[in-house]
Structure 1
Amino acid sequence: MKALASKKRQDWIAGGIFLGLSTLTRPITFLFPFFLLLALLLFFKKRLQNFIFVLIFS
């Protein structure tokens, strides 16, 4: 959350390191992208076409 507010590269790197370490110790974070995708599809049905476009071409 701090990285979003301050937009400092240092905060993003620290967040990535902590997420990586937590993935090594508890691999449940591997499932996070799939649940995030499912949640986005459920909440933004109207924007589904734009979302798929961004997923494919990013």
Structure 2
Amino acid sequence: MLVTEKNGKYPNPRRVFFSAACNHCAEPACIKSCPVDAISKRETDGIARQDTIQKPRK
């Protein structure tokens, strides 16, 4: 997941990009909060995966 943080004010605005790695949570909040249901948890090993193919919303 790529996270964007904006701070600072004119004339010195600042934007920082950083990646956030998966923490392999037992009950991942990212799955529940994804607005397009693009994240799922693999049953075999518990890894949360982001689907790159857009699915229709439920």
TM-score range, shorter chain: under 0.3
More strand by share: 2
TM-score (norm 2): 0.27
Greater C-alpha Rg: 2
TM-score, normalised by the number of residues in structure 1: 0.27
Q: Which has the higher contact order (CA 8 A, sep 6+)?
A: 2
Q: Which structure's residues are more often helix, by fraction?
A: 1
